[in-house]
Structure 1
């Protein structure tokens, strides 16, 4: 089921399926900023990533010497959430552990996402609660896809990302099978700008773990329309679009990432895994601001 909230500027549409944001529509200019989910390219809009980000090798991982299996990005994006709170400009969805989830992810959890419509965009707050008497191991993140170009009159080559700080940063390359490799590759050299073009993701996503910037903006040389994501609460940041040249770009704030290509350890030893003590709660948020 879809749910909608609005203010004077924006119309926000969300779904119980995956707790996913479906639309961020400007009433002022008639512009849709979020990808519409055409399955010919990519069927999602803005999936939530929990309890893993990326893929485990062979989709399998180990907890206390027992092997479990999870699909890429975990179970949240294909699960049915419950709407537990709705206000004039906010919605909160919840996903809880179940007997079924415990067979593939052996931890009790309460995962919530709150979308808060603001004057200039939307804030997304992710929270993970541990209701059990044992530690909860998890990663969490988001995978929103934005129209790119935002203005259909533009070309992709007109578009670029602009970071809030000058960056000299490496990326973590991915193997042919989609797992991280240990050799960081220099990528951004004393610059704020990353030009966009059709071959940018020929080797899959760009993954950063050392950005100084708190925000990044998707802009065009010829249009006033742009958006800015504040991701300062997240240590990892991914940028991705399909090699097919689909007209969208994913800006992805993460706590955690896919396995390294040689990882063989227990989940608790994996880089980026968060450890939540019993009866505790973890919260993080990011915001998307629209400029027109």
Structure 2
């Protein structure tokens, strides 16, 4: 693990997958990230690229050729990620295409993920460079899992999410047999900005929102108030997820989404897919802010 620290926070990042795995308050030694218990869910905060969620049959079609990609893409658990740059307040990791990656993802790319500490805020910057001679197609997103409850004298049910705006929105249900988005929806937010956290909230997998006005959501404790918030102005989709047995909640900003059950698997027309012209660079940022009272 590679660490970075300022006067308020200390973070740690696994080199494999460039996965953020610890956020700790310096003065109080409070830990805010899930511990990746392998008996429940053995990840901390996977980086999602060039797909988010599942593809139908783990495959897609680009210009009449079929390619295979695992759920969430090729950065997660990838040992070929390298530390590209380290400064006094930031860590930047890089994954570049190679001959093997071209067999599954036929684009020449450079993917960078940077973590920057600014007081009590972690800025997570995704940079994608198209170093190919053709337009590339991709999605990108985050999957950070936050400890819940944070303090010993609390329960999971003591926590709720508070959205920036009052929302009325339905979750797009997932077919749990194949991980694909079904045509069914379920009302979740009805003229409210609060979502109570319960373990059975995730019995049907992730909550997937496509139409939220909010670009910020806070994790709050009934006993201690606001713990942290995630701001995601660059990301139109939001996933909320945990294993029903896990004491954590993932707040997932996405630029892209899993395949729908009725997809034709054409990568160019996949919902939420991004296009980047040859030689161009794309950036998207979300932030994690630990509340002042806890650092």
Q: Same fold (TM over 0.5)?
A: yes
- 1:183 deviates by 3.5
Secondary structure at the counterpart of residue 76 of structure 1 = coil
Q: Does residue 142 in structure 1 map to residue 139 in structure 2? A: no
Q: Which runs of 5+ in 2 are unaligned?
A: none
2:236 pairs with 1:235? yes
Q: TM-score, normalised by structure 1?
A: 0.97
Deviations 1:105-141 (A, max 9, x none): 1111000001001211201000111011101110000
Q: Paired residues, what number? A: 290
- Report the equivalent of 2:258: 258
Instruction: Give the 4+ runs in structure 1 shifted more than 4 A.
Output: none
Indicate conservation of the 8 Å contact 1:62/1:267, yes or no: yes
Partner residue in 2 for 1:11: 10
Evaluate the alpha carbon distance shift between residue 109 and residue 28 of structure 1 in structure 2; reply closer, same or farther with a 3 A threshold: same
* Contact 1:150/1:225 (8 A) holds in 2: no
Gaps spanning 5+ residues in structure 1: where? none
1:186: how far off? 2.7
**Displacement of 1:225 after TM fit?**
5.4
Which residue number corresponds to residue 54 of structure 1? 53
8 A Cα contact 2:56 2:265, kept in partner = no
- Per-residue CA deviation, residues 31-72 of structure 1 (Å, 9 max, x unaligned), is 111112111111111110001000101111111111111110
RMSD (Å) for aligned C-alpha atoms: 1.1
Q: TM-score, normalised by structure 2?
A: 0.96
- Which residue of structure 2 aligns with residue 106 of structure 1? 106
Report if the CA contact (8 A) 1:107-1:136 is conserved: yes
Aligned to 2:201: 200
Q: Is the 8 A contact 1:166 1:191 kept in 2?
A: yes
1:188 match: secondary structure:
strand
Partner of 2:22: 23
Deviations, residues 196-240 of structure 1 (Å, cap 9, x unaligned): 111000100000011111210011101245000001210100000
Distance 1:156 1:184 in 2: 25
Distance 1:25 1:276 in 2: 36
The residue aligned with 1:163 is 163
Tell me if the contact between 1:151 and 1:223 (Cα under 8 Å) persists in the aligned partners: no
d(CA) in 2 for partners of 1:87, 1:269: 39
